[in-house]
Amino acid sequence: MNRSDLQTLGERELAKQQSTGCRLLCCGSTPCLSSGGTAVQEVFKGILKENKDLKAELAVVSTGCMGPCSRGPLVRVQRQGEPDVIYEKVTPELAQEIFKKHVSGEDTNQAEANILPGDIPFFSKQKKVVLANSGLIDPERLEDYVAQGGYMALANALREMTPEEVCSEIIDSGLRGRGGAGYPSGLKWNLVRRAKTDKKYVVANGDEGDPGAYMDRTLMESDPHRVLEGMAIAGYAVGAEQGFIYVRGEYPIAAKRLEKAIRMAERRGLLGSRVMDTAFNFRIDIRIGAGAFVCGEETALMASIMGRRGQPIPRPPYPAQSGLWGYPTLINNVETFGSIAPIINNGAEWFAGIGTAKSRGTKIFALAGQVENTGLIEVPMGISLREIVFDIGGGVPNGHTFKAAQTGGPSGGCIPADYLDTPVDYDSLRELGSIMGSGGLVVMDDTTSMPDVAKYFMEFCMDESCGKCVPCRVGTVQLYRILERVTAGIATRNDLTIMEELCTMMQETSLCGLGQSAPNPLLSTLRYFRHEYEALIKDDLPLTSDRFALATSSVLPRQEVS
């Protein structure tokens, strides 16, 4: 398939969609399906099966995530020439009413109360670039993606741009890695491009180990072809012929959809050998993770792709110099790859025009925790935290007040209410002692105890430490034990000092990012909520046998490995 075939395919599919009188788009993402979406889809499909004559004017489409997950199951009604209508919390009965109103044209208002207005801040404050197709297309159909202009960026890059030009386009766009650290992507691409070896690899990091975050899962489930297209463009730019996409083991649907997407793209000649009738070959294989947080770290991830224990190795050499099987390897987060096609299509300037001076473009956040509207959002960089939590998120429910927002998961920190007006970008968050991270944003209200949160994350890091380096393996255990004493109310002031010393030691001496950043949640809660720790500390506590036992217990009862 070449460029003009692609165009024809897209136009044909678009014409077909537009000639369909009514399209019922049902969210087929995990949150909606598990809150009753399956039954809703069955109602629509049943209707379609009974009325075969409706086939020309009615289409039922199972789409990816529409965003406001807490309001699911969601159904979007698309009628030619009319604005879309979105229904929330749809039940099988309501599905019947929706069908009657929009397809049969009956005058019923039963479902009126469940209409989600399209102009609420949840939608209007967002800017969809990477998630542009999410919730609008059927992720299992290549044609749907092509109808939205899919694979055009790859076609244009292959025909009109040299690999060098692709790299400079990415550099000019100012795109920074969405996996956490925010390294400029174009520079990384250029490093791999300049390496002179016969083999190179491209790896998409879809491990998403950060608990409380599900942006990457949603992207892979809702628009798998976008990730593949981004990887293929990267392959062309750096001169690689083989790509791997590493999907977290907990995400079977994402893996299944990607697998199907790769098969379909290969059948159409959009991947595989001689991509779009050019001399460029690019294969993509999926690797399924097996449940280890540290495998999100790039060197550990590569060890895991090679079938080994996912333990990091010291850098340098960086993967761009020596990665998979010793060859230069480009490794980016899946959301980073998701941003590539829009940049090639609309130009670097357009992308650089969104966001702030040092953080360009948009970022997807998974909004969760104690907030009214939980769900997946995509916002321009530089938006204030207040807008995210209160306008898009709808504030804290049940009459509680906002206490802190946690970003960056176990490598990040908490941002207290005083800093709600800080713009959300890589550098401002870092100044506050947190990080942008991969995009998990968990809101905590006044019922949350901060030492408890710190203990929670320390337990996470202790469990997930791979055990290779001493500062991380031993440091996390020691910190966890002190935090246990703190939360039990038997710690001393001296313990706080020891904790701070240990934190610095771990940051400076750990082998990989896991250990270096494990102290962050603790340090940031100490920084903003020190009074909570101090309230738990009793200096004049007598040394009871309980306290003595806790203070001297040598090995913690750890969870059994299952």
Ligand X SMILES: Cc1cc2nc3c(=O)[nH]c(=O)nc-3n(C[C@H](O)[C@H](O)[C@H](O)COP(=O)(O)O)c2cc1C
* Segment 192 to 211, residues that bind ligand X, using CB under 6 A: 205, 207-210
**Residue 116 identity:** L
Measured from the CB atom, the residue of 169 and 208 that comes closer to ligand FES is: 208
CB of residue 411 vs ligand X: minimum separation in angstroms?
6
Q: Which of 33, 74, 334, 392 binds other proteins (CB under 8 A)?
A: 33
Name, in order, each residue with C-beta under 8 angstroms of 82's C-beta and a sequence gap of 6 or more.
none
End-to-end Cα spacing for the chain = 48
Q: Is 332 in the site for ligand X (CB under 6 A)?
A: yes
Residues 475-494 that bind other proteins (CB under 8 A): none
375 touches other proteins (CB under 8 A): yes
Question: Is residue 251 a contact point for other proteins (CB under 8 A)?
Answer: yes
The string of DSSP letters for 28-57 reads -SHHHIIIIIHHHHHHHHHHHHH-GGGGGT
How far from chain centre, in Å, is Cα 29? 14
Q: From CA 14, how far away is CA 303, in angstroms rounded?
A: 43
The binder of 549, among ligand X, other proteins, ligand FES, none, by C-beta within 5 to 8 A per type, is: none
**75 part of the interface to ligand X, by CB under 6 A:** no
Residue 286: Cβ-neighbour burial (10 angstroms; 0-12, 13-18, 19+): middle
Identify whether the C-beta of residue 397 lies closer than 8 Å to the C-beta of residue 371: yes
547 binding other proteins? (CB under 8 A) = no
In degrees, rounded to 5, the angle at the alpha carbon of residue 227 between the alpha carbons of residues 361 and 138 is 105
Q: Please give the C-alpha separations between residue 522 and each of 37, 267, 273, 373, in angstroms, as whole numbers.
A: 39, 51, 50, 27
Regarding 177 and contact with ligand X (CB under 6 A), the answer is yes
**476 binds ligand X, rule: CB under 6 A:** no
**Per-residue contact string for residues 91-120; x = within reach of other proteins by CB under 8 A:** ------------------------------
Closest chain position to ligand FES (CB): 212
Closest distance to other proteins from the beta carbon of 60 (Å) = 4
CB of 440 to ligand FES, least distance (A): 8
Does residue number 307 form part of the binding site for other proteins (CB under 8 A)? yes
Question: CB under 5 to 8 A by kind: which of ligand X, ligand FES, other proteins, none does 559 bind?
Answer: other proteins
Q: Which DSSP category does 85 fall into? A: E
Q: Which does 331 bind (CB under 5 to 8 A by kind): ligand FES, ligand X, other proteins, none?
A: ligand X
513 makes contact with ligand X (CB under 6 A): yes
> Which CB sits closer to other proteins, 189 or 214?
214
User: Which CB, 159 or 308, lies closer to other proteins?
Assistant: 308
Task: Give Cβ neighbours of residue 152 (< 8 Å, ≥ 6 apart).
Answer: 3, 6, 7, 10, 341, 345
Rounded to whole angstroms, what are the CA distances from 229 to 151, 232, 359, 484?
A: 6, 5, 23, 48
**Closest C-alpha to 286, from 266, 268, 312:** 266
Is residue 31 a contact point for other proteins (CB under 8 A)?
Answer: yes
Binding residue (CB under 8 A) for other proteins from 6, 22, 61, 161: 61
Q: Which is nearer to ligand X, 492 or 510 (CB)?
A: 510
Determine contact, residues 129/121, Cβ cutoff 8 Å.
no
Asked if omega into 557 is within 30° of 0 (cis), the reply is no
Q: Record the tokens describing residue 511, joined without a space.
A: 């082998």
**212 sits near other proteins (criterion: CB under 8 A):** yes
Binding site for ligand FES (CB under 6 A): 211-212
Scanning 56-64, 233-241, 354-362, 416-424 for contacts with other proteins by CB under 8 A, the matching segment is 56-64
Q: Which of 130, 388, 469, 514 binds ligand X (CB under 6 A)?
A: 514
Residues 293-312 that bind ligand X (CB under 6 A): 294, 296-298
Distance of alpha carbon 348 from alpha carbon 505, whole angstroms: 41
Q: Which does 374 bind (CB under 5 to 8 A by kind): other proteins, ligand FES, ligand X, none?
A: other proteins
Radius of gyration of the chain (CA): 25
| Nearest-approach distance from CB 186 to other proteins, in angstroms | 29
Stretch that binds other proteins, among 40-48, 87-95, 187-195, 538-546 (CB under 8 A): 40-48
CA dihedral 298, 300, 301, 302 (to 10 degrees): 90
Binding stretches for ligand X (CB under 6 A): 177-181, 183, 185, 205, 207-210, 294, 296-298, 331-333, 336, 438, 512-514
